[in-house]
A and B are shown apart, each in its own frame.
Chain A
Amino acid sequence: MARVRSVIGMGGGLHSVELVVDPRTVQAARPGRYVMLTVADGTDPFLARPYWVRRSSESTFHVLVKEVGRGGRWLARAGPGDAMWLFGPLGKELVTDPATRRLLLFGDLRALNLLLALSDEALRRGLEVAIVIEADESPVPATLLPAALELLPELDGEALRWADELYCAGEPVTVQKAQDVVRASGGRLPATALPHAPMACGVGACHGCVISTKRGSRLSCVDGPAFPLRELVWT
Chain B
Amino acid sequence: MDVDLSVQIARDSDRPLRLRNPVMTAAGTFGYGLEYGRLLDLTRIGAIVTQSTTVEPRKGGPMPRWVETPSGLLSAASFQNPGIRRVLSSYAPRWAKLGTPVVVGIVGATLDDYVELAALLDEAEHVAGIELNLTGARAGEPTPLGGEPAVAGPITAAVRAATGLPLVVKLSPNVDNLPAVASSVEEAGADALSLVDTITGLVIDTATRRPALGSITGGVSGPAVRPLAVYKVWQVAQVVAVPVIGVGGITCADDALQFIMAGASAVQVGSSSFRRPTTVLEVAEGLAAWMRAHGVTGLDEIRGIALPLRIVPG
Sort chain A's interface into a size bin: 20 to 34
Question: Is there contact, CB below 8 Å, between A47 and B275?
Answer: yes
Chain B residues with CB under 8 Å of A71's CB are 68
Interface residues of A in 184-212 (CB under 8 A from B): 198, 200-201, 203-208, 210
Question: Is there contact, CB below 8 Å, between B31 and A204?
Answer: yes
Q: Which residues of A contact B (CB under 8 A)?
A: 38, 43-48, 69-71, 85, 87, 198, 200-201, 203-208, 210, 217, 222
Taking the closest CB of chain A, its distance from the CB of B54, in whole angstroms, is 13
Q: With A and B bound together, what is the CA distance between A171 and B271 in angstroms?
A: 26
Take A44-B70, A204-B35 as given contacts and tell me if A87 and B277 are in contact as well, using a CB distance cutoff of 8 Å: yes
Question: Is there contact, CB below 8 Å, between A46 and B73?
Answer: yes
Is B75 an interface residue, CB under 8 A from the partner?
A: yes
Question: Is there contact, CB below 8 Å, between B36 and A205?
Answer: yes
- A–B complex contacts, Cβ < 8 Å, 10 sampled: A44-B70, A47-B275, A85-B275, A87-B277, A198-B66, A203-B39, A204-B31, A205-B35, A207-B65, A208-B66
Q: With A and B bound together, what is the CA distance between A86 and B69 in angstroms?
A: 21
Question: Besides the contacts A44-B71, A47-B274, what 6 more A-B pairs have beta carbons closer than 8 Å?
Answer: A38-B275, A38-B276, A85-B275, A198-B65, A203-B31, A208-B64
Taking the closest CB of chain A, its distance from the CB of B36, in whole angstroms, is 6
Contact of B35 among A70, A203, A217 (CB under 8 A): A203
Question: Is there contact, CB below 8 Å, between A198 and B29?
Answer: no
The 9 closest A-B pairs by CB, nearest first: A207-B77, A205-B31, A201-B274, A207-B80, A204-B35, A43-B223, A208-B66, A208-B65, A43-B71
Taking the closest CB of chain A, its distance from the CB of B255, in whole angstroms, is 10
Chain B residues with CB under 8 Å of A45's CB are 68
Q: With A and B bound together, what is the CA distance between A135 and B71 in angstroms?
A: 32
Taking the closest CB of chain B, its distance from the CB of A67, in whole angstroms, is 16
Is B136 an interface residue, CB under 8 A from the partner?
A: no
Contact of A43 among B39, B60, B65, B222 (CB under 8 A): B222
Chain B residues with CB under 8 Å of A222's CB are 35
Q: With A and B bound together, what is the CA distance between A47 and B86 in angstroms?
A: 30
Question: Is there contact, CB below 8 Å, between B274 and A206?
Answer: yes
Q: With A and B bound together, what is the CA distance between A46 and B221 in angstroms?
A: 11
Question: Is there contact, CB below 8 Å, between B68 and A203?
Answer: no
Sort chain B's interface into a size bin: 20 to 34
Nearest residue (CB) in B for A216 is B59
Is B63 an interface residue, CB under 8 A from the partner?
A: yes
Taking the closest CB of chain A, its distance from the CB of B39, in whole angstroms, is 7
Q: Which residues of B contact A (CB under 8 A)?
A: 29-31, 35-36, 39, 51, 59-60, 63-66, 68-73, 75, 77, 80, 222-223, 251, 271, 273-278
Chain B residues with CB under 8 Å of A208's CB are 64-66, 75, 77
Chain A residues with CB under 8 Å of B73's CB are 46-47, 200
Nearest residue (CB) in A for B31 is A205
Contact of B60 among A38, A87, A204, A210 (CB under 8 A): A210
Q: With A and B bound together, what is the CA distance between A48 and B59 in angstroms?
A: 25
Question: Is there contact, CB below 8 Å, between B29 and A203?
Answer: no
Q: With A and B bound together, what is the CA distance between A200 and B73 in angstroms?
A: 9
Question: Is there contact, CB below 8 Å, between A46 and B66?
Answer: no
Question: Is there contact, CB below 8 Å, between B75 and A206?
Answer: yes
Taking the closest CB of chain B, its distance from the CB of A110, in whole angstroms, is 16
Nearest residue (CB) in B for A44 is B71
Chain A residues with CB under 8 Å of B68's CB are 45-47, 69-71
Question: Is there contact, CB below 8 Å, between A46 and B80?
Answer: no
Take A198-B66, A207-B65 as given contacts and tell me if A46 and B31 are in contact as well, using a CB distance cutoff of 8 Å: no
Taking the closest CB of chain A, its distance from the CB of B227, in whole angstroms, is 13
Q: With A and B bound together, what is the CA distance between A71 and B274 in angstroms?
A: 15
Chain A residues with CB under 8 Å of B273's CB are 201, 205
Taking the closest CB of chain A, its distance from the CB of B60, in whole angstroms, is 6
Nearest residue (CB) in A for B60 is A207
Chain B residues with CB under 8 Å of A47's CB are 68, 73, 274-275
Question: Is there contact, CB below 8 Å, between B31 and A200?
Answer: no
Nearest residue (CB) in A for B30 is A205
Chain A residues with CB under 8 Å of B36's CB are 203, 205
Question: Is there contact, CB below 8 Å, between B64 and A198?
Answer: yes
Q: With A and B bound together, what is the CA distance between A149 and B274 in angstroms?
A: 37
Chain A residues with CB under 8 Å of B63's CB are 210
Taking the closest CB of chain B, its distance from the CB of A81, in whole angstroms, is 20
Nearest residue (CB) in A for B29 is A205
Contact of A46 among B29, B71, B277 (CB under 8 A): B71
Q: With A and B bound together, what is the CA distance between A43 and B273 in angstroms?
A: 13
Q: With A and B bound together, what is the CA distance between A210 and B72 in angstroms?
A: 21
Taking the closest CB of chain A, its distance from the CB of B212, in whole angstroms, is 11
Taking the closest CB of chain A, its distance from the CB of B105, in whole angstroms, is 13
